[in-house]
């Protein structure tokens, strides 16, 4: 999961670029806010060229290299590698258009060299689906510093020692330009608000959003082709919501105590609003599949997961005493639920994952 950082703040505070992500399997996405944009022609023209790192993720980027008739422009999405500070300048490079849309550019290896004019030449391999752990699909972007090189020139190195990035990335001195996409827009997502989360919802009937992140499509699989998935949602919005859920209720028959005897599911998953089943022991290429109840058998998946132990259900067996002098008519027993909601960029809900915290209980007498 990725939280966001404004580009203007990162440029003003270089030390913030070195901040490590908060927790495992996390990272930062950079948003090009208005304060980070420069203009030319007396403020009439927005400069699309990026002059320094880090690069923004709310823009489609174009790498330009060569000159005149020999110039080329390659579109790309650059997504920061998980678990790395932005200062490492490590990115996954994703194809944004064409028949390989959604696939990741990949480094060639020594075995991919071919003989050309009596010498060995590096032959670029075709893009392929991303494996986040494959270092041959990770690139370090480096400023190109040379006497004649202008500011805003770069090249890429492979994280793997024996890897060779695609030519358009490994050639030295390319420029990079932004273009605003028309199918998504990233807002601020500050990650988890630890202070707000610790307060818990004060009212039984209210819910509280305590965290917000984004996930690129590469970590969520809806069971469609990569091309179709990118077209539908390049990013997914993830929110963590707290609420109280009633797990037991009864009416008064003149007693001053209530015996609670109920079985509660510790975790529940809903795919497009339907309850789903899953099995953490059956993992397909690092993906846990959730299958919803119903005739369509719709599937979605989410990398990673929550270790709630082997037992999916817990039995609550206890007695609550009514200690007030007035009479009561209805009793409700509530458990704290934290729900992860996964939504597409159009706001449609993909998946909800509920975790019940049985150490946070609340009784209500009415």
Q: So what's the pLDDT on residue 289?
A: 72
Looking at residue 191, the DSSP 8-state letter turns out to be E
Domain shared by 203 and 245, yes or no: yes
Number of domains making up the chain = 2
Domain shared by 168 and 198, yes or no: no
Preceding amide of 186 cis, omega within 30: no
Domain shared by 242 and 330, yes or no: yes
- Tell whether 169 is covered by a domain: yes
- Tell whether 186 is covered by a domain: no
Domain shared by 276 and 175, yes or no: no
Q: So what's the pLDDT on residue 113?
A: 65
The boundaries of the domain holding residue 337 are 191-365
Domain termination site, one of 126, 157, 179: 179
Q: So what's the pLDDT on residue 307?
A: 39
- Tell whether 296 is covered by a domain: yes
CA angle (165, 168, 172) in 5-degree steps: 85
Domain shared by 58 and 137, yes or no: yes
- Tell whether 185 is covered by a domain: no
Domain shared by 26 and 79, yes or no: yes
Euclidean distance between CA atoms 59 and 303, whole angstroms? 24
Q: Is residue 137 within 8 Å of residue 92, measured between CB atoms?
A: yes
Domain termination site, one of 144, 179, 214: 179
Largest CA distance in the chain: 98
Q: So what's the pLDDT on residue 175?
A: 96
Q: Is residue 158 within 8 Å of residue 164, measured between CB atoms?
A: yes
Domain shared by 44 and 83, yes or no: yes
Domain shared by 155 and 202, yes or no: no
- Alpha helix locations (H) across the chain? 7-12, 167-170, 194-199, 226-232
Where b means 16+ CB within 10 Å and e means fewer, 7-32 reads beebbeeeeebeeebeeeebbbbbbb
Sign of CA dihedral 158, 164, 166, 170: positive
Domain termination site, one of 122, 155, 179: 179
Terminal CA-CA length for the chain: 41
Q: Give the DSSP H/E element, type plus range, for residue 312.
A: none
- Tell whether 184 is covered by a domain: no
- Alpha helix locations (H) across 192-233? 194-199, 226-232
Domain shared by 209 and 173, yes or no: no
Domain shared by 195 and 279, yes or no: yes
- Tell whether 17 is covered by a domain: yes
Q: So what's the pLDDT on residue 33?
A: 93
Domain shared by 168 and 258, yes or no: no
One digit per residue, pLDDT tens: the chain, 366 residues? 999 999 999 999 989 999 999 888 999 999 999 999 888 876 778 889 999 999 999 999 999 998 878 889 999 999 999 999 999 999 999 999 999 999 999 999 987 766 666 567 889 999 999 999 999 999 999 999 876 667 899 999 999 999 999 999 999 999 999 999 988 999 999 999 999 999 999 999 999 999 999 999 999 999 899 999 999 999 999 999 999 999 999 999 888 999 999 999 999 999 888 888 776 655 666 677 777 655 433 444 444 333 345 578 899 999 999 988 889 999 999 999 999 999 999 999 999 999 999 999 999 999
Q: So what's the pLDDT on residue 153?
A: 93
> Concatenated DSSP letters for 17-50?
GGPPPSSTT-EEEEE--GGG--EETTTTEE--B-
- Tell whether 165 is covered by a domain: yes
Q: What is the pTM of this model?
A: 0.88
Q: So what's the pLDDT on residue 230?
A: 94
Domain shared by 85 and 230, yes or no: no
- Tell whether 119 is covered by a domain: yes
């Amino acid at each position: 999961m990725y939280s966001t950082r404004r580009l203007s703040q990162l440029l003003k505070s270089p030390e913030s670029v070195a901040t490590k992500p908060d927790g495992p399997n996390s990272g930062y996405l950079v948003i090009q806010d208005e304060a980070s944009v420069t203009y030319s022609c007396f403020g009439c023209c927005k400069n699309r060229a990026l002059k320094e790192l880090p690069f923004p993720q709310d823009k489609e980027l174009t790498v330009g290299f060569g000159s005149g008739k020999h110039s080329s422009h390659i579109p790309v999405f650059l997504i920061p590698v998980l678990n790395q500070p932005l200062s490492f300048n490590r990115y996954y490079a994703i194809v944004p258009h064409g028949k390989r849309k959604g696939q990741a550019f990949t480094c060639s290896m020594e075995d991919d060299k071919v003989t050309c004019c009596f010498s060995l030449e590096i032959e670029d391999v075709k893009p392929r689906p991303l494996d986040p752990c494959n270092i041959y699909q990770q690139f370090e972007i480096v400023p190109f510093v040379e006497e004649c090189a202008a500011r805003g020139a770069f090249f890429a190195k492979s994280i793997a020692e024996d890897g060779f990035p695609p030519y358009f990335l490994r050639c030295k001195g390319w420029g990079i330009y932004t273009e605003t996409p028309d199918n998504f827009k990233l807002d601020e997502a500050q990650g988890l608000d630890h202070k707000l989360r610790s307060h818990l919802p004060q009212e039984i009937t209210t819910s509280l959003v305590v965290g917000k992140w984004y996930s690129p499509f590469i970590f969520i699989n809806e069971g469609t082709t990569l091309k179709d998935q990118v077209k539908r949602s390049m990013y997914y919005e993830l929110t963590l919501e707290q609420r109280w859920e009633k797990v037991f209720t009864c009416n008064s028959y003149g007693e001053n105590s209530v015996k609670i005897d109920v079985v509660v599911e510790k975790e529940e998953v809903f795919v497009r609003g339907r309850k789903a089943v899953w099995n953490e022991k059956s993992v397909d290429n690092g993906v846990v599949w959730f299958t919803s109840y119903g005739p369509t058998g719709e599937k979605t998946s989410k990398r990673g997961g929550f270790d709630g132990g082997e037992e999916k259900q817990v039995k609550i067996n206890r007695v609550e005493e009514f200690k007030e002098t007035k009479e009561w008519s209805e009793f409700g027993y509530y458990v704290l639920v934290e729900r992860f909601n996964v939504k597409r960029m159009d706001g449609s809900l993909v998946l909800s994952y509920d975790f019940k915290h049985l150490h946070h209980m609340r009784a209500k007498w009415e």
